[in-house]
Chain A
Amino acid sequence: MILEAVSHALQVNALLTAFAFVGLVMWLSAALSKYLTMGRIHGSAIAIMIGLALAFWGGVVTGGKSGLADIPMLSGIGLMGGAMLRDFAIVATAFEVDVDKAKKAGMIGAVALVLGTIIPFIVGALAAVAYGYTDAISITTIGAGAVTYIVGPVTGAAIGADSAVMALSIATGVFKAVLVMIGSPFVAGMIGLNNPRTAMVFGGLMGTVSGVSAGLAATDRRLVPYGALTATFHTGFGCLVAPSIFYLIVRAIAGS
């Protein structure tokens, strides 16, 4: 009887259940980040990996296509992570962008930002083609995922990609962010990452603020604000060009 009451309450309040559930995942990720990786891998990246793992589990258990959201009690996850709230929250992050600060990054920051969007997109798109994707929508979505794990799904949703392709695109972006977090201290010497200007170039090229800030923090904490300055624009710029210019170019090459 108690079980029935619980499951009824959780299903009727599906969105609240999702908030509580995701809250638990975030809390667990923060703890794992702090104690297991000594803060080296960002909590947000761990949380997204847990999310993908749970989606895998949900898919295996239910045989459905919507990951955890196919479990009736967790259907609210579908609403919380749906296109509407996602776009709403992503747009909100632009509120912190300060136009005057942007000018400080200057020309070299802008060049790094453009390169940091084009290079990952090309590499990601080539990987997609190498693995047998031939349609412009899938190639663009995976290429955009290599830019950041946000640009990928935003692009995929905008141009109508398949959920499996979206999952690949998110996973590519998260994997990239984790590699940046772990790899930066090791390559710092080789790429001259010891001054503010290179840190800004680094932020623009590598993208994802979580990857850049954790990677720079592990390299030299003093460089974090400079890297974050340019990385902040990465997602916005990617969301602007990937589902528009890049998609049209890929479409012209690969055909729709």
Chain B
Amino acid sequence: MTISGVALLAICTLLGAILGDLLGMMLGVKANVGGVGLAMIFLIAGRHWLIRRKLLNEGIKLGVGFWAAFYIPIVVAMAANQNVVAAVESGPMVAIAAIGTVLACFASVALISKMSGRVETMDEIEAREGTLTPKVAQADGLGSVVR
């Protein structure tokens, strides 16, 4: 049943929220500490359990999958109700933070790939195997779930 999936998702999200609040209280901060992350772990564990027991059916997948696919539209709605006027007044911080982050991360990728030594490039792998690598995920983004 589709509702099983929606209910599973709701239970995981609620459990995460409760635990996050409790953690916040224990640590003495007025915040939900990591509730969404905890809920995600519960859902991953739930899926794993269902697969092992062979209980994961199309209905459950549909119930969760719908909300997963709805994620970008909801984020767009969320963006549309922020106080952007006040944010714009605070100047170019956004650009500086974003550019700084991207540069630092590109540099780290370069560093790690240098440190880990030479590995086969994609072209070499294909030349060796003589086959194409797994099908590339569709990058249209809107229909499929893209984070």
Contact = CB atoms under 8 A, between A and B. Distances in A.
A interface residue count range (under 10 / 10 to 19 / 20 to 34 / 35 or more): 35 or more
A236 B104 CA distance: 21
Contacts of A96: 68, 145
A17 to B, nearest CB: 11
B67 A88 contact: yes
B interface residue count range (under 10 / 10 to 19 / 20 to 34 / 35 or more): 35 or more
B127 interface: no
Contacts of A68: 80-81
B145 A213 contact: no
Contacts of B146: 42, 44, 209-210, 213
B42 to A, nearest CB: 8
A123 B12 contact: no
A65 to B, nearest CB: 5
Interface string B63-84: 0110110111111111111111
B140 A43 contact: yes
B109 A201 contact: yes
B94 A191 contact: no
A224 B40 contact: no
Interface string A200-223: 011001101110011001001111
B83 A222 contact: no
A228 B141 CA distance: 12
A53 B81 CA distance: 10
Contacts of B91: 131
A241 B139 CA distance: 29
Contacts of B83: 55, 59, 65-67, 162-164, 166-167
Interface of B is mostly: helix
A92 B6 CA distance: 9
Interface string B27-53: 101111111111111011001100000
Interface in B72-131: 72-88, 90-91, 93-102, 104-110, 112-114, 116, 119-123, 125-126
B29 A197 contact: no
Contact of A187 (B17, B100, B106): B106
A55 B67 CA distance: 24
Nearest to A170: B79
Given A51-B76, A206-B105, A221 B81 contact: no
Interface string A117-145: 00110011011101100000000001001
Contacts of A73: none
Interface of B: 9-10, 12-13, 16-17, 20, 23, 27, 29-41, 43-44, 47-48, 61, 64-65, 67-68, 70-88, 90-91, 93-102, 104-110, 112-114, 116, 119-123, 125-126, 132-134, 136-137, 139-142, 145-147
7 contacts: A119-B108, A128-B97, A149-B75, A176-B101, A224-B136, A235-B147, A244-B23
